């Protein structure tokens, strides 16, 4: 007999949470309130589509890229591997990733989530770990369809060229950012992280979870 275990890898969303400098801060307020004259509570929510765990669409970094509501959903659902590359700041290189993967079985699943933080930051961190484009190209050559990170972006906060993002585009890969992997052991899982069907937008929040089976 087996039992199913879920790892919630989405950080909480709340007013005052850290966001990319200059991006839209999350704000929440009541639109309707349950009282003697109203039978329901309905909230008003303002936020960036890059809030919390989110999927970047090609439109985010390509003028003619697809918006998130039109991307193929297959990449966000299926076999996945979590690997730990702690303290790799400022740049996670291909040799460092390959070293971390060396103890894992072949072949590499089509989705890879990379943990860089020892502890997910509670404040904006401008010095987060970024991804070497050579690493992205290698993953694409291995058949990886999605890369996910626990940092704010694949590229640095001051990047004007977004080389890692464009390397992703060359291989038709999908991107998840701002995942919460603090309590997720390395290993293989099933990823479920579907973006919302936001037809014209450059990104979408996701409720990302990892599912695994355990012997009873």
Catalytic residue among 60, 84, 166, 171: 60
Angle, helix 94-101 to helix 133-141, in steps of 10 degrees:
50
**37 annotated active-site:** no
Beta strand residue intervals within 22-140, DSSP E: 27-32, 42-46, 54-56, 77-84, 91-92, 111-115, 130-131
**Does the annotation flag 20 for ligand binding?**
yes
**Does the annotation flag 87 for ligand binding?**
no
Q: Burial code of 144-181, b = ≥16 C-beta within 10 A, e = fewer?
A: bbbbbbbbbbbbbeeeeebbbbebbeebebbbbbbbbb
Cβ neighbour number for residue 75 with a 10 Å cutoff: 21
**Does the annotation flag 54 for ligand binding?**
yes
Alpha helical stretches, state H, the chain? 94-101, 133-141, 163-170
Classify 134 as helix, strand or coil.
helix
**Does the annotation flag 183 for ligand binding?**
no
β-strands 91-92, 203-205 pairing: unpaired
**Does the annotation flag 50 for ligand binding?**
yes
Nearest to 57 by CA among 213, 196, 216, 215: 196
d(CA 202, CA 54) in angstroms, rounded, equals 10
- Name the residues annotated as catalytic: 60
Where is the binding site for Zn(2+), in residues? 50, 54, 56, 165, 177
- Residues placed in the known binding site for substrate: 20
The binding site consists of 20, 50, 54, 56, 165, 177
């Amino acid at each position: 007999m087996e039992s199913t275990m879920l790892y919630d890898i989405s950080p909480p969303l709340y007013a005052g949470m850290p966001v990319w400098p200059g991006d839209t801060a999350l704000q929440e307020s009541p639109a309707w309130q349950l009282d003697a004259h109203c039978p329901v509570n309905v909230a008003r929510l303002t936020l960036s589509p890059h809030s919390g765990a989110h999927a970047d669409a090609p439109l985010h970094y390509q003028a003619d890229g697809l918006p998130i509501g039109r991307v193929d959903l297959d990449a966000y659902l299926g076999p996945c591997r979590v690997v730990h590359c702690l303290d790799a700041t400022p740049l996670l290189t291909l040799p460092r990733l390959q070293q971390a993967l060396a103890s894992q079985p072949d072949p590499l699943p089509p989705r890879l989530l990379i943990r860089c933080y020892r502890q997910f930051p509670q404040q904006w961190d401008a010095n987060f770990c970024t991804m070497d484009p050579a690493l992205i190209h290698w993953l694409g050559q291995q058949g990886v369809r999605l890369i996910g990170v626990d940092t704010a972006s694949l590229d640095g906060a001051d990047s004007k060229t977004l080389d890692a993002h464009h390397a992703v585009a060359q291989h038709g890969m999908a991107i998840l950012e701002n995942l919460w992997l603090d309590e997720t052991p390395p290993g293989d899982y099933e990823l479920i992280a579907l973006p919302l069907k936001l037809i014209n937008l450059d990104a979408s929040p996701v409720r990302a979870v990892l599912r695994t089976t355990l012997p009873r």
